[in-house]
Every structure is written in structure tokens, then in C-alpha cells.
Amino acid sequence: MVTAPVGRLLWVGLIWLAGTLCWAADKPPGFALSSAHPDATAAGVEILEAGGNAFDAAIAVSAALAVVEPTGSGMGGGGFWLLHVAETGRQVMVDGREEAPSAATATLFQNDAGDVVPSLSRDGPLAAAIPGQPAALVHLAKEYGRLPLAQTLAPAVRLAREGFAVDGPLLARLAYRFQALSRSQAAARVFLPGGGLPEPGSLIRQPDLANMLEMLAKDGVDGFYSGEMAKRLVRGVRDAGGIWQLEDLANYRIKERAPVTFDVDGVRVVSASPPSSGGVVLKQVMQVLSLTQALEQPAVDRKHLVIEALRTAYRDRAAWLGDPDHVEMPIDRLTSEAYAREIAEAIDLERARKSADLIPPQTLIEEGEHTTHFSIIDADGNRVAATLTINLSFGSAFMVPGTGFLLNDEMDDFSAKPGVPNAFGLIGTSANAVGPGRRPLSSMSPSFVETPDRVAILGTPGGSRIITMVLLGILETLDGSDATTIVSRPRYHHQYLPDAVYFEPGALSEAEMATLRGRGFTLKSAGREYGNFHAVVWNRSANTLDAAADPRGIGEAAVRSSSAEKVLGAAAD
């Protein structure tokens, strides 16, 4: 493939010059947010209207999602909160990822014969890593918020105590995880009234979770990581076969990390850094797309280039990435222009490459799909893109009695054994092996896109497909699409192995499918829609706000501005 100089410097210069000559507002005309549940969006709106900033609203939305979307995230899980502080321009990733307990070993999820036993890292307390979300919410309040935690957690406490209505997606996932949830008495008491599925529209009340949130508001991290709650958690986990110790909770720390930030073709992308793989993959892929001028190619060739760029980037993800505090990663090389050029030059628009022909990593891994994402901007221009998770639907499906929250099964995001795929078909190497105090590699990719006239705040759940969904969202943003189009457009995905392009209905036209098959790609229907994307877009030239919730979910977006005031539901259930 013939390549152009990366960044096409002249164009970049012209675009930025045009951007700076155009009038661009310093502050948005109000606030906007989008999350996966109407009650969580309402919690964020309540806090912003009460004078809170985007960071306060992020606390409220995170906690509310823990109550009303217990499939995706929770106080027993973790996540990445990507922040833009308007006053200083500082951008930082708050890493509240879960951490393996100190007794974890590389062979924890293998039997005596050395075979991986997948249920051990997916169901029950052995699957649970030390949660990061409680510490992250305290950190956000202390370092970035304006309001006390008692106020920002209040909407979630109310929802937990008064109850929320069972919705369709929740019911479907309860049915899917029925067996695992039934095995945990405390979890079943909350989610399976009388031992069966709840009625649609009936209320789920979570008084223990309300108490836990109040304790966090009152005592900060000590309300979770030491004292009575810590003792109860360790006792409950160990009684049921887990390996947590009090020191594991006491030693948990939030880490602030520099995001992966890069400029390509006049656009700045800010995304998650390791232990997420998102930013590294996006930087490599976007450079390859720039060198091959993918955005100017006919639609089918653009897709060909995207798929080929993803193929190499996901191979490299599997081979090299892990917890930055425990493994050396060749990130400079993986994200260099020289390497992007090598990849671009190996792409042939006449035919598909084969993943088997690429040098394989020693072993690969997959991640949980039932995560959540929200995006927020406030009237000062502070921004939050947050992707949170407990990994698989309802995490480990295990709840310690009296605590009110499910524990994650993030241990499944480690590579249980080099080369053996995880729940999402991803493989991994020793870079992501289980080990004491390690944070498992993630695909969560909360991102900002900054063009001369627009700022987009993007992200989605979706396991290994998160990164390609965010990539397609970035490309939509560059195409000038509005928030609704960014979250709605049908998607396609390639992750190196399996060596196939998975697509949603409508993502590829009949003609594109014929062309791509003719070039040697294996195309497979994803079998269903996937993802639950949330986007906020601030057009700085027009000074307007736009936000949208993915029509594949039940989420809701809200915009309050001097020029418009609206609550935007998802287009469909």
C-alpha cells in the first residue's frame, strides 16, 4: 500500500490555522451527559443542577449505575475515569481498575493437569479482584469535586433504598446468569425474589447497598477498605473459597495515569492508557489509517484498511500489553510512525492478509462484555468519559452477605494460561499473567476527540469489541456526524483471532460483502447488535451541545443549555 507522510503536515497546519482563525467558544452553553440508564442520567442532572461540576456528576452517575444497572458495573468492581479539567487543561486517567489479591498465582485458574478451568475465574469469589470503584469515587470527590460525597451519593442511596423498576435488559441477563446468582444466597435475596425471576416493572430494593454507600460518604475509603466492611468482605470471600486478605483491601490505591494522547491529521485523541489497551491500539490504528489515507478512500476500501489495521493492533495487544506497574511494554515502538508505516506497507487492497501469517504472540485472552460507559460535560467545559465494569454480567454473581453489592470477576481478564482464550475469545501472554497485585489488561477505552471546532466524549461497553467501537465512533466524529449517528451506526469488528470480520446487520452492504469476500476476508454476522455507546459532542464554533444514548440500550442523554433544553431517550429499547 502506498503511504502518505503521517499527519500530512501541510494539511494539519492548514486545518489548525483554519480552526484557530474560526471563532470557538471557551465554554459550553450548558451541560450534557449520556448514560446507560435514565435513573443514572437523572442522578447526574440533579447534581449538576445543584451546582456540582462534571466530576461530582460522574460520582453520582457511577453510584447510580451501580444500583440500577448491576449487570454492568458496581461498587464491587472498577473502571477508568478519563478527566479534562477545564481550568488548567489537565487531562488525566483515574485508574480504579481492580487488583489481584496478594495470594494470586499464575496457575490459579488451572487444574492439577495444567488445564484452565474457566468457571473458576468467572463465578464465585475466587474470580473477584480487589474492587477499585469505592476508592475512585472518594478520590474524585476529594481531588476534583465541589460537593460532599453525602450529596453526590444521595441519588444512588435513594434509588437503592426506595427501589428501581426491573427493565427488559436486566431481566434477560438475570435469566442468563440465573444459576450462578442462585448459588449466592445474598445475591439471590436481592435479585431473585422467592428464588425466581422478578416481575418486569417490579421494584428491586437494596438496603444493604444504601448502607454501604452511606458508610462510604461518612468514612471515605476507611468505610470500605478497612474496619467492619473490610472484615466482613474478607470473611465472606474466604468462607466461600476465595483468597482475599485484609491487607489486600488496605493496600489498594487509586492510580492517576497520563492518558494516551496523540495528534493525527489535525485531530487530537485522548484515550485510556495501560492497564487498558484502548489508547495504544487506537494510536497505532489511527496512524495506519492516516498513512493509507483511509478516510478519503471509497467506503469498502476504508473498511478493508480499518480491518487490516485492527488485525495487527489486536495481535500486538495480546503479545505485549499488561499492567504498566509490573511489565515492560514496547509502547514507543508499537505507536511509532515507523512501525505504522511498516504495517501500512504490508496491507494489500487487493486481498486480505491472514492472521496466521502474522508472527503470533505466545498466547492470547478475552474480556467481559457487560460493562457500562457514560459521558459528561459541564458548563465550565470540565469533561468525564468513564467506562466501568464488574466484567461479565453480574460479575462473579457472588455477594458477601450484608454488603449489598456483587463482586467482580475481573480475574478472567488475565490470561489464565498463555494461548487459551478468555470469555471473549481474546488470547494473552505472560504480559497479562495472573500475579499478586497486578491489574488485568482491559479494553475499556473512554476517549476524547478534539478537532479544531468540536469536542466529542465517547465510549461504550462491549468486551474486546470496545476498541473497534470507539475507533468507529472517532471516524464518525471526523466525518462530522452528530451524536445520534455516532452511537447508532451499525458496527463491524476484527480482533486478530478469530480471523473473521464480525458485523451487525446493516454494517456492510451486499456489494461491500461481495468485494471483501472476493478479497479473501471471512465475514460473519455478529448474530445480534452489540455495544451501548454514549456520546456527548460540543460544537465550539456554533457553541451547541449534542448528546445521545445508544438505541441498542435503554439509556438516556440529557442536554441543558441556553439554546436548548432536552432529555433525549435512546431511540429504542
Report, as residue numbers or ranges, the catalytic residues: 371
Choosing from 206, 393, 443, 484, the residue that interacts with ligand GLY (CB under 6 A) is 443
Segment lying near ligand GLY (by CB under 6 A), choices 104-112, 154-162, 178-186, 436-444: 436-444
The smaller minimum CB distance to ligand GLY, of residues 444 and 497, is found at 444
Asked if 99 touches ligand GLY (CB under 6 A), the answer is no
Interacting span for ligand GLY (CB under 6 A) from 65-73, 265-273, 292-300, 438-446: 438-446
What gap in Å lies between CA 498 and CA 479, rounded to an integer?
Answer: 29
Cβ proximity to ligand GLY: between 166 and 471 the closer is 471
- Per-residue binding string, ligand GLY, 462-491, x by CB under 6 A, is -x----------------------------
Q: Measured from the CB of residue 34, what is the shortest distance to ligand GLY in angstroms?
A: 20
CB distance 86 to 381 below 8 Å: yes
| DSSP calls for 61-125 | HHHHHHHH-TTT--TTSEEEEEEEETTTTEEEEEEE--B--TT--TTTTB-TTS-B-GGGGTSSG
What mask of x and - would describe binding to ligand GLY in positions 410 to 429, judged by CB under 6 A? ---x----------------
Give the chain's radius of gyration (CA, Å): 22
Q: Which is nearer to ligand GLY, 122 or 315 (CB)?
A: 122
Footprint (CB under 6 A) of ligand GLY, residues 22-61: none
CB of 270 to ligand GLY, least distance (A): 18
Cell of 144: 476534583
Q: Which residue from 7, 242, 368, 418 is in contact with ligand GLY, where contact means CB under 6 A? A: 368
Shortest Å distance, C-beta 397 to ligand GLY: 15
| Nearest-angstrom CA–CA distance, 415 and 434 | 7
Query: Measured from the CB of residue 446, what is the shortest distance to ligand GLY in angstroms?
Result: 11
Nearest distance from residue 66's CB to ligand GLY, in Å? 15
Three-class DSSP category at 369:
coil
Residues from 77 through 96 that contact ligand GLY (CB under 6 A): none
**Shortest Cβ 16–ligand GLY spacing (Å):** 33
389 makes contact with ligand GLY (CB under 6 A) = yes
Residue 457 contacts ligand GLY per CB under 6 A: no
Q: Which span sits near ligand GLY by CB under 6 A: 223-231, 437-445, 471-479, 511-519?
A: 437-445
Nearer to ligand GLY, 265 or 413 (CB): 413
Sequence-separated contacts (24+) of 7-11 with Cβ below 8 Å: 7/263, 7/264, 7/265, 7/290, 8/265, 8/290, 11/265, 11/266
Name the minimum Å distance from CB 96 to ligand GLY: 12
Rounded to whole angstroms, how far apart are CA atoms 197 and 469?
A: 32
Minimum gap (Å) between residue 260 Cβ and ligand GLY: 15
Query: What mask of x and - would describe binding to ligand GLY in positions 391 to 410, judged by CB under 6 A?
Result: x-------------------
CA 541, chain centre distance (Å): 29
**CB 78 within 8 Å of CB 133:** yes
Report in angstroms how near the CB of residue 129 gets to ligand GLY at its nearest.
10
Only one of the segments 280-288, 343-351, 363-371, 430-438 lies at the binding site for ligand GLY (rule: CB under 6 A); that segment is 363-371
CA 463, chain centre distance (Å): 8
User: Is 254 in contact with 96 (CB distance < 8 Å)?
Assistant: yes
Looking at residue 357, the DSSP 8-state letter turns out to be G
Task: List alpha helices for 192-298, DSSP H.
Answer: 207-219, 222-225, 227-239, 246-250, 278-291
Binds ligand GLY (CB under 6 A): choice among 444, 449, 456, 559: 444
Residue with the shortest CB distance to ligand GLY: 442
Member of 184, 442, 451, 532 binding ligand GLY (CB under 6 A)? 442
In this complex, which beta carbon is closest to ligand GLY, that of residue 152 or of residue 391?
391
Give bridge partners of residue 93 from the DSSP assignment.
82, 257
List, in order, residues 6 or more apart from 568 with CB less than 8 Å away: 34, 547, 548, 549, 556, 557, 558, 559
Per-position x/- string for 126-165, each x denoting binding to ligand GLY as judged by CB under 6 A, each - no binding? ----------------------------------------
Stretch that binds ligand GLY, among 10-18, 181-189, 212-220, 366-374 (CB under 6 A): 366-374
Nearer to ligand GLY, 151 or 443 (CB): 443
CA dist 148 and 499 (Å) reads 50
Strand segments, DSSP code E, in 10-62 are: 30-35
Q: Rounded to whole angstroms, how far apart are CA atoms 78 and 307?
A: 30
- Residues in binding contact with ligand GLY, number by CB under 6 A: 10
Nearest approach in angstroms of CB 491 to ligand GLY is 17
Question: Is residue 495 within the footprint of ligand GLY (CB under 6 A)?
Answer: no
For residue 252 the three cell numbers come to 489498594
Closer residue to ligand GLY in complex, CB, 169/463: 463
Q: How far apart are CA 145 and CA 143, in angstroms?
A: 6
**Phi and psi for 431 in degrees, rounded to 5?**
-60, -25
- Exposure string of 162-172, with b = 16+ CB inside 10 Å and e = fewer, is ebbebbebbbe
Nearer CB in complex with ligand GLY: 97/560 = 97
3-state secondary structure of 386: strand
Which CB atom, from 371 or from 532, has the smaller least distance to ligand GLY? 371
Interatomic CA distance for residues 308 and 347, integer angstroms: 7
DSSP string of 469-483, one letter each residue? HHHHHHHHHHTT--H
Residue 367 lies near ligand GLY (rule: CB under 6 A): yes
**Interacting residues toward ligand GLY by CB under 6 A:** 367-368, 371, 389, 391, 413, 442-444, 463
